[in-house]
Amino acid sequence: MGKIGGFLEFDRQEPGYRPKEERIADYRAVERRLSDKDLHEQAARCMNCGIPFCHGTGCPVQNVIPEFNDMAYRGRWKEALDVLLTTNPFPEFTSRICPAPCEAACVLELSNGQPVTIREIEKAVIETGFERGYMKPRPPAVRTGKRVAVIGSGPAGLSVAHVLNQLGHTVVVYDKSHRPGGILRYGIPDFKLEKWVVDRRIKLMMEEGVEFENDVTVGIDISYRYLETRFDAVVLAAGSRQPRDLPIPGRELKGVHYAMELLMAQNRKLAGEVVPPEYDIVAEGKNVLVIGGGDTGSDCVGTSLRHGARSVTQIEIMPKPPEERHESTPWPNWPLKLRTSSSHKEGGWRLWQVSATQFVGNDEGNVVGAQCVEMNIDFKDGRPAFSPKAGSEFAIEADLVFLAMGFVGPATNPMLDELGIARTPRGGIAIDELHMTNVPGVFAVGDMAQGQSLVVRAMADGRDAAVQVDTWLKAQK
Ligand SMILES: Cc1cc2nc3c(=O)[nH]c(=O)nc-3n(C[C@H](O)[C@H](O)[C@H](O)COP(=O)(O)OP(=O)(O)OC[C@H]3O[C@@H](n4cnc5c(N)ncnc54)[C@H](O)[C@@H]3O)c2cc1C
């Protein structure tokens, strides 16, 4: 259980970020690593609680956290890795970009507000595993002869492919993008997740026998009929990539983009891919307005600052969250509270309870600003109802606008219509408790089925669905 009384002896210590001036001059990961000594002390703080809420309530993949904390404390890295890999297919992703609901559910968060640095210990376990050569390809000993097509190579698709391959099925992952990884590769900036981490995992999966077919849009380049003749099951893992629009006057002006247009272009450029000029967005010297206060908006802030934007303003329609956990989300729940990302610490302004009502353009059709207004919010049955606050109108100068207001559901695809795949009332793919759609042998996982969420949830969903696909395959003649 770490060190008896360790939590009394040592305070929580986070690795922190590289200095601001240094990090906004490049796109490398902003987060530092703890020293071996600090890591040993941090692992010593775990209390091995009778009921480990971190594991049971907090972690969507149910990582067995007290056990690997203890092994990390004792320097038993191989055993820590073995425990971690029993639940988590890709700890190198979660340990870098997970918001760590496990830490919010740690009993030390309840007692003194200083949870164990679980995410950092997880990173040390997996990275030590790679450094010491413990992370070797482990192809399955026996192949079943069953073939599965996975559509989409984001965290959900990778996770379902990994587990099905381990179970001996032959898996081909199709993706319309040039390289596998989904939002891990083309959405999340390098300063949060460097892409060699994704490449390293894809290489390992290939060595284990997973096949990747990129630059293939299923439903356009190949049909369901094609897949049906070659595979015993199909798993849809194409994400929830239809962005929410803001249809206000001036939406058509040049310089108003969906957030993903900026993030994709930037990630492609850093990867050495050719970005045609019409898709290349440059914020250097510009006043940037980001609409939407979530992760995607924050990634636009960090990216714009690295481009050398003159100013960056982020607006959010919801009220400013409290600095501390709100009473509506008591421990061990994921807390409603103000989140300040590394990008927010680098610059820019944030405004809450504000909405844009109109984009303003010049004679050339370029956006030059936005009319905004403060909002009144009434909560009726827990749902917010918004109305403009009279007399609060103001203007923001902006020659680039990024819409980062979430995603409304899976992108349209002829295959879904051809197959008659049933949808949920909110537009996602409807699945039963076995992750199967209304079409036998066609399963759906990740954001496509669950709605826009987190990398760790997409991975958990893929892992759990793989078990159902395996059961279904075994039941087929
Ligand atoms: C900008 C941004 C930042 C984020 N930051 C974080 C973060 O820091 N931490 C976190 O936990 N979560 C974060 N998230 C959320 C997280 O990335 C998603 O929840 C997760 O990636 C969903 O995984 P997925 O596999 O379901 O879908 P995706 O990652 O969207 O992958 C879907 C894949 O399907 C492919 N595809 C789609 N249609 C087809 C087709 N017809 N044929 C072939 N391929 C197809 C796409 O090219 C894509 O590669 C972020 C999301 C965004 C947008």
CA 154 / ligand 1 centre spacing (Å):
5
Whether 477 shows a pLDDT value over 80: the answer reads no
Cβ of 175 less than 6 Å from ligand 1: yes
| Digit-coded pLDDT (tens) for 151-205 | 999 999 999 999 999 999 999 999 999 999 999 999 999 999 999 999 999 999 9
What angle (nearest 5°) sits at the alpha carbon of residue 163, between those of residues 157 and 166?
135
* Burial class of residue 412 in the structure, from the number of CB atoms within 10 Å of its CB (0-12 exposed, 13-18 middle, 19+ buried): exposed
Q: Which atom, in ligand 1's list, is nearest to the CA of 461?
A: 26
Nearest to 314 by CA among 290, 344, 347: 290
Q: How far, in Å, CA of 86 to CA of 207, rounded?
A: 20
To the question of domain 147-241+408-475 being in CATH 3.10.129.10, the answer is no
- What's 31's DSSP letter? B
Cβ of 335 less than 6 Å from ligand 1: no
Residue 442 backbone phi and psi in degrees, to 5? -110, 120
Whether 1 shows a pLDDT value over 80: the answer reads no
Residue to mutate, 455, 457, 459, 464, ligand 1, most ligand atoms under 8 Å from C-beta: 455
| Digit-coded pLDDT (tens) for 300-337 | 999 999 999 999 999 999 999 999 999 999 999 999 99
Q: Among 29-33, 157-161, 359-363, 415-419, where is mean pLDDT lowest?
A: 415-419
Domains 147-241+408-475 and 245-405 share a fold: yes
Residues 175, 181, 182, 185, CA torsion sign: negative
- Structural domain boundaries of the chain? 6-131, 147-241+408-475, 245-405
Cβ of 428 less than 6 Å from ligand 1: no
Residue 403: strand, helix, or coil? strand
| Digit-coded pLDDT (tens) for 411-442 | 988 889 888 999 999 889 999 999 999 999 99
Residue type, 145: G
Residue with CA at minimum distance from ligand 1 atom 8: 97
Q: How far, in Å, CA of 103 to CA of 42, rounded?
A: 13
For 245-405, CATH gives 3.50.50.60
Residues 131-154 have a mean pLDDT of 98
3-state secondary structure 107-154: HHHHHHCCCCCHHHHHHHHHHHHHHCCCCCCCCCCCCCCCEEEEECCC
Q: How far, in Å, CA of 416 to CA of 236, rounded?
A: 10
What count of other Cβ atoms lies within 10 Å of the Cβ of residue 372? 23
For 6-131, CATH gives 1.10.1060.10
Whether 291 shows a pLDDT value over 90: the answer reads yes
CA 475 / ligand 1 centre spacing (Å):
31
Cβ of 444 less than 6 Å from ligand 1: no
List the helix and strand counts (H, then E) for the chain.
19, 16
Residues 283, 307 contacting (CB under 8 angstroms): yes
CA 409 / ligand 1 centre spacing (Å):
12
Residue with CA at minimum distance from ligand 1 atom 1: 296
Q: How far, in Å, CA of 428 to CA of 418, rounded?
A: 16
Residues 67-72 have a mean pLDDT of 97
The separation between the first and the last C-alpha atoms of the chain, rounded to the nearest angstrom, is 48
Residue 465: strand, helix, or coil? helix
Place of tokens 């809450």: 352
Query: For position 383, what pLDDT does the model report?
Result: 85
Longest CA span, the chain: 71
Cβ of 303 less than 6 Å from ligand 1: no
Query: For position 380, what pLDDT does the model report?
Result: 83
Q: How far, in Å, CA of 290 to CA of 282, rounded?
A: 14
Residues 235-241 have a mean pLDDT of 97
Q: Which atom, in ligand 1's list, is nearest to the CA of 456?
A: 11
Residue 374: strand, helix, or coil? strand
Both structure tokens of 98: 């997970």
- Residue 130 pairs in a beta bridge with none
Q: b/e for 142-176, b at 16 or more Cβ within 10 A?
A: eebebbbbbbbbbbbbbbbbbbbbbbbbbbbbbbb
Residues 41, 74 contacting (CB under 8 angstroms): no
Sequence-ordered list of residues with C-beta below 8 angstroms from that of 417, at least 6 positions apart, any chain: none
Peptide bond into 332 cis (omega under 30): yes
Would you place residue 395 in the very low, low, confident or very high pLDDT band (cuts 50, 70, 90)? very high
| Digit-coded pLDDT (tens) for 377-390 | 998 887 889 999 99
What's the whole-model pTM score?
Answer: 0.97
Q: At what angle do helices 155-166 and 455-475 cross, to 10 degrees?
A: 40
- What's 308's DSSP letter? T
- What's 50's DSSP letter? S
Q: How far, in Å, CA of 292 to CA of 82, rounded?
A: 40
